[in-house]
Amino acid sequence: MLNIDIKKIRFVIIFLFLIPIGKLGYLQVMKGRYFSAVAEEQQKKILTIYGKRGEILDRWGRVLAMDRNVYSVYANPKMIKDKEKLAQQLQTILKIDAHRIKEKLNKNCYFVWLKRGIDDDNIVTKIKDFRGLGVKIERRRIYPQGKLACHVLGAVDIDNNGIAGVELYYNHTLQGEPGYVLTIGDGRNFYLGGFSKNMVPPREGNSLILTIDQVIQYYAEQIAEKLYNKYQPRRVTIIVMDPYNGDVLALTNRPAYDPNYITKDDIKNMKNFAITEMFEPGSVFKVIAAAALLDQGVVNLGDKVYCENGSYKIGKRILHDYHKYRWLDFESVVVHSSNIGMAKFCSRINDDTLYRYLKLFGIGEKTGIDLPGEVSGILRPPENWTSYSKISLTIGQEVAVNPVHIAKMAAIIANGGFDIQPHVVKEIRNSHGMTIWRFSFQPRRLLKPDTVIKLKQILQKVVEKGTGRLGGSRVCTVAGKTGTAQKADLVNGGYAKGKYTATFVGFFPVDTPRLVVVVTVDEPHGSHFGGTVCAPAFKELAERCWIYTSITQERRVKNEVERNFVWN
């Protein structure tokens, strides 16, 4: 009986021993190739390689935004034993609070970022001495000129994706396409090296050639800063534009920010007021009203109206002029910016006609400028107008625009009456420097040639003897228009006491205009008139641009002559 039990036990032991032996043999012999392939596949890691983001250059090829290599430090928390000690050591090296580092190291995972975008090689050398830490090469966006043109350029996030300006608007174009390389790694998400020869190289992003001229942009930035410091306004906006092709040579706002180092306080300053802010333009809009009247042939420059000695009751409302004018001809009504005179002259056209001319100038719709966040403004159709709306519109009320609308309006007069398309990107080039896209726009005539000639004459006199005298220059002839608009009270209705938007828009020289300049100051202190706040700033910028463009034009002509001489 005892012998039988021993045999059974022996058989069971041998059987139990043979089971794992057999299983192991099955796995090794029958399934060996399968599991070998699985293990090899698990060790393979696909490493994404991001291509260089395209550069952003000004119109003459000067670099405004570029990429450079930086280092990012990561950790595998499961490989680190003494996390408290490591956090204290890294605090000095990475310049990060030890408590924040410890929080990341205590996470139950195999990978955490500790710090990204490091450009100090010494830090990278020190990191390599610690177990469980690694360094990855990434790209960081650099803006060599700091704040210059920040609202045009925009910025990128930590992953080099555009978040504002042309960086956002043309993000896909600038990004390019990522590449991939096969390497070996472990289950803890750490790369072990051994790069494969089989890889898909990344494609570098395309570069943008802006319409911006870095020198003119610098001039505009300086003057905007001066206005901001002097009048302590809510904001300042300056735009410089070529009236013939819509090239924006400068666009700046104050307050500004440095896209290299964006803080929490800077986020509110990233808003591009030139396209995202709406305001009632005030008397600047008399230009469109005058264009409609002249183009329709219902007024002559010498036609006169009585301006009621500064106060004119229309229905239940009273219209005022800043000065008590009596008889003024049409030219003088615009030159001296008489609200009463313009209201009386505009009774000669109907609502639909005025509305049609407002639409011709692009009011109430987006200009189409290639920057994110543009607002279309406000322009109600005639069926929603009151009996007073036409008068309000002729003096820049009951309508909202952005500063680019104002620049476009002036450009149409300056270029002889043709439509234009404001834009900030001139062309796109691939990584080999070849142009793959160039801006083009087919203009159409909006105003009669005779209308434009008369408007230029009137606007020149605005600067010579009207409300824009402080914008006049001895360097070049100037035409322009002032605007002083009381701001709407969005809480209580009506207009806010003591809050104004001051504007001056002009172009120079009058006969063959080179540039259009818009200066807008929101809620200035000390003075609030467009003619006193903005016109002097326009004058300074216009004179500096005139001298600069004259010099560059002479250089281009000289270079062209020299090239022709060499080839001939």
206 and 278 co-located in one domain = no
Given 191, 210, 229, which residue is the final one in a domain? 210
393 near 371, Cβ under 8 Å?
A: no
197 and 290 co-located in one domain = no
165 near 154, Cβ under 8 Å?
A: yes
What is the SS3 assignment for 73-125?
A: EEECHHHCCCHHHHHHHHHHHHCCCHHHHHHHHCCCCCCEEEEEEECCHHHHH
- pLDDT tops 60 at residue 557: no
In a domain, 307, yes or no: no
| Average pLDDT of span 552-567 | 54
HSE at residue 141, side-chain half, CA atoms within 13 A, is: 29
More confident residue, 480 or 177: 480
Q: Decide: helix, strand or coil at residue 400.
A: strand
- pLDDT tops 60 at residue 565: no
More confident residue, 345 or 5: 345
d(CA 481, CA 467): 8
| Average pLDDT of span 195-224 | 89
pLDDT score for 516: 98
139 and 235 co-located in one domain = no
Report residue 317: phi and psi, to 5°. -110, 155
Which residue's structure tokens are 């796109």? 428
pLDDT score for 61: 96
Residues whose CB is less than 8 angstroms from the CB of residue 143 and which lie 6 or more positions away in sequence, other chains included: 64, 65, 150, 153, 258, 259, 260
- pLDDT tops 70 at residue 188: no
In a domain, 57, yes or no: yes
Mean pLDDT is lowest, of 161-175, 183-197, 375-389, 423-437, for 183-197
pLDDT score for 427: 98
pLDDT score for 17: 75
- pLDDT tops 50 at residue 374: yes
548 and 519 co-located in one domain = yes
Q: Which of 362, 344, 457 minimizes the C-alpha distance to 404?
A: 362
201 and 147 co-located in one domain = yes
Q: 229-249: per-residue pLDDT in tens?
A: 999 999 999 999 999 999 999
195 and 224 co-located in one domain = no
Residues whose CB is less than 8 angstroms from the CB of residue 148 and which lie 6 or more positions away in sequence, other chains included: 64, 214, 217, 218, 221
Element (H, E) at 168: helix 165-169
Given 171, 188, 210, which residue is the final one in a domain? 210
Q: Give the pLDDT band (50/70/90) at residue 2.
A: very low
- pLDDT tops 80 at residue 191: no
In a domain, 7, yes or no: no
The tokens for 537 are 């700033």
pLDDT score for 182: 66
Q: Provide the residue range defining the domain that includes 179.
A: 53-210
pLDDT score for 56: 98
In a domain, 521, yes or no: yes
> Concatenated DSSP letters for 531-543?
HHHTHHHHHHHHH
pLDDT score for 554: 63
The tokens for 558 are 């000289």
Mean pLDDT is lowest, of 19-33, 37-51, 65-79, 320-334, for 37-51
393 and 281 co-located in one domain = yes
In a domain, 237, yes or no: yes
- pLDDT tops 50 at residue 202: yes
How many Å from the N-terminal Cα to the C-terminal Cα in the chain? 123
153 and 286 co-located in one domain = no
83 and 143 co-located in one domain = yes
The tokens for 308 are 């009621």
The tokens for 152 are 């045009």
The CATH number for 196's domain is 3.90.1310.10
Enter the pTM of the model: 0.84
Sign of the four-CA dihedral 409, 534, 484, 498: positive
Q: 182 forms bridges with which residues in the sheet?
A: 46
Query: What is the domain count for the chain?
Result: 2
d(CA 293, CA 287): 10
pLDDT score for 148: 97
In a domain, 384, yes or no: yes
202 and 231 co-located in one domain = no
d(CA 15, CA 210): 81
The tokens for 236 are 């300042």
* Average pLDDT of the chain, as a whole number: 89
Do strands 311-314 and 179-185 pair parallel, antiparallel, or not at all (unpaired)?
Answer: unpaired
The tokens for 114 are 């500790």
110 and 142 co-located in one domain = yes
Q: 147-169: per-residue pLDDT in tens?
A: 999 999 999 998 899 999 999 99
Report residue 379: phi and psi, to 5°. -150, 110
d(CA 263, CA 561): 50
Helices (H), 378-448: 389-394, 403-414
The tokens for 442 are 């087919």
The tokens for 311 are 């106060």
Q: 70-126: per-residue pLDDT in tens?
A: 888 888 888 888 888 888 888 888 888 888 988 898 888 888 888 887 877 777 778
> Concatenated DSSP letters for 455-502?
HHHHHHHHHHHSTTGGG--SSS--EEEEEEEEEE-TTTSSEEEEEEEE
Q: Decide: helix, strand or coil at residue 4.
A: helix
The CATH number for 381's domain is 3.40.710.10
**C-alpha distance from residue 261 to each of 108, 159, 165 (Å):** 32, 15, 16
**C-alpha distance from residue 366 to each of 278, 379, 401 (Å):** 12, 12, 9
206 and 354 co-located in one domain = no
| Average pLDDT of span 175-188 | 69
% of the chain surpassing 90 pLDDT: 64
In a domain, 182, yes or no: yes
In a domain, 491, yes or no: yes
| Average pLDDT of span 381-387 | 95
